[in-house]
Amino acid sequence: MTSYKDLGLVNTRAMFAKAVKGGYAIPAYNFNNMEQLQAIIMACVETKSPVILQVSRGARDYANINLLRNMARGACEYAHELGYDIPIVLHLDHGNSFEVCKECIDNGFSSVMIDGSALSYEENVAVTRKVVEYAHQFDVTVEGELGVLAGIEDEVQAAESHYTRPEDVIDFVEKTGVDSLAISIGTSHGANKFTPEQCKRNADGILIPPPLRFDILAEIEKKLPGFPIVLHGSSSVPQEFVKMINEHGGKLKDSVGIPEEQLRQAAKSAVCKINIDSDGRLAMTGTIRRVLDEKPSEFDPRKYLGPAREALKEMYMHKNRDVLGSAGQA
């Protein structure tokens, strides 16, 4: 058993309480490798932002849980070396069973998500309650989910979304004891959130997708005043990276993400954790494609992973400062 406290990590409790009061959201960035982790830490130290390092089940299979735990320990030491000890959480993203959550808790994670959103309401309550009972013995915080997000990624799949029903949230939180709640109000996973046909063009010709259901968010906030709310599927799908990928041999479909202004608006409410994975994938892939296309004789991975890391860092700094409002809050 490894306690996250020995790794230099923190759980989400104090961080979320401060974020809800302060009207900003903590970035939850997924990582699978060293360059992504370096970029996240560099960006969050430079902007003095707390951060949640997210590990999906796919990331665990890809990178190995022992390596990931020690990378998170290294991230805390790296932040210290860079000159600022930001609060860092190691979080399991979309845990799908008690066993997966327990394994992460036993391996030094400071926070876990139990995603029972594909189950019946009663089954979701039961498994979430079981994870909370185990996690809280070790002061590990737990995120539950009500409602279903659409989107398809490696191991997170749902064809259709179902908005969270505000009438369920009090019962769910009381019965499970979760520390935060992921809700569905119109975001979705992956880089293909909205097709151009689903959007309207504004006066500048920019495609604007259907707005998030802020009315549902407001109802949930009314039922659970000050309770930490989480938004998954919150990539904005930066068009510069979609273009970069397609200009350098890629073939991405036209796609539109969640507009930054809407995320900013959500961050000012009880939404205190915003999950971003796909934008990191786009920035990294776009930059690597560009470098390899422009320098076809290059074969030193540092020469394309280095620029990709720099692009990621710039993007994360922008999100912390201009979208989530977490800059300066560490």
Known catalytic residues are 93
Does 129 engage in binding with ligand 13P (CB under 6 A)? no
Dist CA 135 CA 101 (whole Å): 8
Does 12 engage in binding with ligand 13P (CB under 6 A)? no
Out of 41, 42, 59, 216, the only residue in the binding site for ligand G3H (CB under 6 A) is: 59
Which residues are CB-contacts of 312 (< 8 A; sequence separation ≥ 6)? 35, 36, 39, 40, 43, 280, 283, 284
- Binding string to ligand 13P for residues 16 to 55, with x set by CB under 6 A, is what? --------------x-------------------------
Residue whose CB is less far from ligand G3H, 106 or 155? 155
Does 189 engage in binding with ligand 13P (CB under 6 A)? yes
Does 153 engage in binding with ligand G3H (CB under 6 A)? yes
Residue whose CB is less far from ligand 13P, 46 or 277? 277
Q: What is the CB neighbour count within 10 angstroms for residue 40?
A: 26
Residue whose CB is less far from ligand G3H, 52 or 330? 52
Between CA 296 and CA 307, with CA 301 as vertex, the angle to 5 degrees is: 85
Element (H, E) at 68: helix 65-82
Dist CA 89 CA 28 (whole Å): 9
Q: Where are the beta strands (DSSP E) in the chain?
A: 26-30, 51-56, 88-95, 111-114, 141-146, 151-152, 157-158, 180-183, 200-201, 207-208, 229-231, 271-276
Query: For ligand G3H, which stretch binds (CB under 6 A), given 34-42, 72-80, 153-161, 200-208?
Result: 153-161
The 8-class DSSP code of residue 203 comes to T
Does 156 engage in binding with ligand G3H (CB under 6 A)? yes
Does 97 engage in binding with ligand G3H (CB under 6 A)? no
Identify whether the C-beta of residue 141 lies closer than 8 Å to the C-beta of residue 110: yes
Chain positions contacting ligand 13P, by CB under 6 A: 30, 93-94, 189-190, 232-235, 275-279
Chain positions contacting ligand G3H, by CB under 6 A: 30, 56, 58-59, 93-94, 153-156, 189, 277
